[in-house]
């Protein structure tokens, strides 16, 4: 397995994996599969904001999963905190793909001076909870009945990974 930076040519494969998560699970609290117009905007947003987009490619050149992060919340004081996303394609789950992707995302965040990486996980997703715990994330709390999908109320759990963060953080925006 190789972890690579994903370029726009992978958008179709990313879309397939993303939509698997929407349609077949409670990984994403969304109902409607995305289209390529959405994915193009999503990709541009990642590039413009210098958010990483990485993928796990097998020896046959198949994208097995992808990971990224983005802003945790839209207020300036959260600028050293990111919320990550990891998606693994059906058929490649439980093969170490998620662990490799999440470990790489943590390393990228560390290198960019991020202080906290947040994971928001559906409480029934025990595999994801186990993955996060195995990499050193700490449980932060649960918001109960926050979503409704697949005929049931969903609880979301938050996990965090604390990094060193910036050496000399600045409170105001410098842009």
Domains of the chain by range and CATH?
2-162 (3.40.630.30)
Sorted by sequence, the CB contacts under 8 Å of residue 138 that are 6+ apart come out as 159, 160, 161, 162
pLDDT digits (tens, 9 = 90+) for 6-46: 999 999 999 999 999 999 899 999 999 999 999 999 999 99
The average pLDDT across 89-118 equals: 96
Q: Which tokens in the block code for residue 58?
A: 């097998």
Question: Please, are residues 124 and 26 in contact by the beta-carbon 8 Å criterion?
Answer: yes
Question: What is the distance between the alpha carbons of residues 160 and 166, in angstroms, rounded to a whole number?
Answer: 17
pLDDT greater than 60 at residue 111: yes
């Amino acid at each position: 397995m190789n972890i690579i930076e994903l370029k726009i040519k992978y958008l179709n494969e990313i879309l397939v994996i993303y939509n698997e998560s929407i349609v077949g699970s409670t990984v994403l609290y969304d109902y409607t599969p995305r289209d390529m117009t959405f994915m193009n905007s999503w990709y541009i947003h990642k590039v413009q904001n210098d958010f990483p987009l990485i993928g796990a490619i097998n020896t046959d050149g198949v994208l097995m999963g992808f990971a990224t992060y983005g802003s945790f919340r839209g207020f300036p004081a959260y600028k050293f905190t990111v919320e990550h996303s990891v998606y693994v394609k059906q058929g490649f789950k439980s093969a170490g793909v998620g662990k490799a992707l999440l470990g790489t995302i943590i390393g990228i965040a560390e290198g960019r001076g991020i202080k906290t990486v947040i994971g928001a996980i559906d409480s029934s997703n025990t595999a994801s909870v186990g993955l996060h715990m195995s990499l050193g994330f700490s449980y932060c709390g649960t918001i109960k009945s926050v979503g409704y999908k697949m005929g049931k109320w969903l609880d979301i759990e938050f996990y965090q990974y604390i990094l060193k963060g910036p050496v000399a953080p600045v409170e105001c925006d410098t842009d």
